[in-house]
Structure 1
Amino acid sequence: MRAQSLVPAAAGATLLAFTTASTAAHPREPVRVEPVSRVSRVSAADLLDKLDACEPVSRGRYRTDADAPADIPVCGTQDAVFWKADIDIDCDGRPGSRCNHTTDPWFWPSTAYKQSDGRYLNAETLPFIVVPAPSGIWDHRAHGVGAGSVAAVIHEGRIQYAVVGDIGPHHLIGEASYATAKGLGLRPDPRSGGAPSGVTYVVFKNTRVTHIEDHEEAVAQGEALVRKLVRNE
């Protein structure tokens, strides 16, 4: 069962800290990648083959749920970090017809990061993933991951491009927005949707879309980055 992405009791102070930290999440200038032609897409199978071996970059391991074993490491390559987990549905952020207090018992009307106009993200329409809060297990910021980092989420032959848009509990991993799950062809219901396993999350180091809400740019960068990772171009 999904834990709330931001703990309400400390949401104000924590959100401020995360928002401030996001400006330091990219130690170098973000990698800018030119869009590639649609015909040059790399298959999900090719990408998974490239990520077959895990070189752990986390000091410990994560749980997918509070009562699940801690057996998921964050792995790394020169250009990306990745993990294999389940997918729980994050409906937090701006409320809508699909994501609100009625549809989601864990709903929280904010996300760790905001879009360029100052509003919180819309989980119904924006594909984004959730990364664990920095801890002794792993600190995503040390690997060039933060607000708007480009991600690819893989499930059963599909690739859904997304951005890093929210921060979750420090001990849990495997969560993405309503729109991410829908794009993967999964049931996006926050109560019972998602998938229990078989989901791979890839986040590219030192990347960032200009505006976190710009999904078109996330796709363009993501396709080029995946092509570069798989084909060493």
Structure 2
Amino acid sequence: MHPRLLPLAATGAAVLLAVASLPASARPRPHTADPGEPVVPVAREGGVRAADLLAAVRGCRQISHGRYRTDDGARATVPVCSDNGVVHFKADLDVDCDGRPGKHCNRRTDPLFVSTTAYQRSDGRELSAEELPYVVVPGASSIWSPARSKVTGGTVAAVVHRDRVVYAVVGDTGPNDLIGEASYATARALGINADPAGGGAGDEVTYILFPGVRAHPIESHQAAATAGERAAKALVARR
């Protein structure tokens, strides 16, 4: 994860200036799907409706000591909450392309690309933001320590945007004062523009983390979807 310098609604001019300063060969190109691109499952992945998940986390028992910003320079408005046995928050979605380089996530498409992630695959390689739906959580700080809430690498999450749900894993960590980022694959599965240089979603995205529920291995989206569906059904039953 890399820092975001401005709120999403205000980034247009900044991104254009930054891109214009790069050599033509290094300028990021907007994402366009092609027939050979892997298809990430979308919408009601496990049959649990987005509306039911949102209803289960409608309240907020705040567990963070303060609030997070979604971008550098933005006001700190996002609390981390815990209700009905899950940890959740509402934020934007900035596209994380970090990890193993690929066709859409590399130094040419993303000027801030980093080839490592906080957590690795079972074979020791970095995660692929292109292939694996994952979310980014803030680094531990006095505001909140994810590990103390049993949220760590491989923890399963349900990410909700409008009427779509995708199950993901915690795959990366970021600055300890920012929140609201997920992988290229997560954005694409939710129908969000996945271009790392200018995509993302500025409106509310709900992140629901299931403490103690992990995908084995971390790189298996099927494992995350199976565990996520089971945890989501239990959450909806508790509300």
| Contact 1:3–1:106 (8 Å) recurs in 2 | no
Moved over 6 A (4+): none
Q: How does 1:187-202 map to 2 (within 5 A)?
A: 187-202=193-208
8 Å Cα contact 2:100/2:129 also seen in 1: yes
Quote how far apart the aligned CAs of 1:39 are: 10
Aligned residues of 1:83 and 1:202 also touching (Cα < 8 A): yes
Using the size of structure 2 for normalisation, the TM-score is: 0.81
State the percentage of identical aligned residues: 51
User: TM-score when scaled to structure 1?
Assistant: 0.83
Report the count of equivalent residues.
199
Alpha-carbon distance between aligned partners in 2 of 1:187 and 1:93, rounded to the nearest angstrom: 19
> Is 1:232 the counterpart of 2:238 in the alignment?
yes
Aligned-partner SS, 2:130: coil
Deviations 1:129-152 (A, max 9, x none): 000000000000001000100000
Contact 2:78–2:90 under 8 Å retained in 1: yes
2:74 alignment partner AA: A
Q: Deviations over 1:46-77 (max 9, x none)?
A: 11011111110101100000011001000002
CA offset at residue 177 of structure 1? 0.1
Q: Does 1:168 align with 2:174?
A: yes
Q: Does 1:154 align with 2:160?
A: yes
8 Å contact kept, 1:133–1:169 = yes
Distance 1:176 1:229 in 2: 22
Q: CA deviation at 1:78?
A: 4.2
For 2:210, the equivalent position in structure 1 comes to 204
**Within the alignment, does 1:46 sit opposite 2:55 as a pair?**
no
Determine if the alignment matches structure 1 residue 128 to structure 2 residue 134. Answer: yes
User: What stretches of structure 2 of length at least 5 have no aligned partner?
Assistant: 5-43
- Alignment partner, residue 91 of structure 1: 97
1:3 equivalent in structure 2: 3
2:192 is the alignment partner of 1:186: yes
Larger Rg: 2
Separation in structure 2 between the aligned mates of residue 162 and residue 228 of structure 1, nearest angstrom: 17
Q: What do you get for the CA RMSD once the two structures are aligned?
A: 1.6
Q: Provide structure 1 residue ranges, at least 5 long, that are not aligned to the other structure.
A: 5-37
User: Does structure 1 retain, via aligned residues, the 8 Å contact 2:84–2:235?
Assistant: no
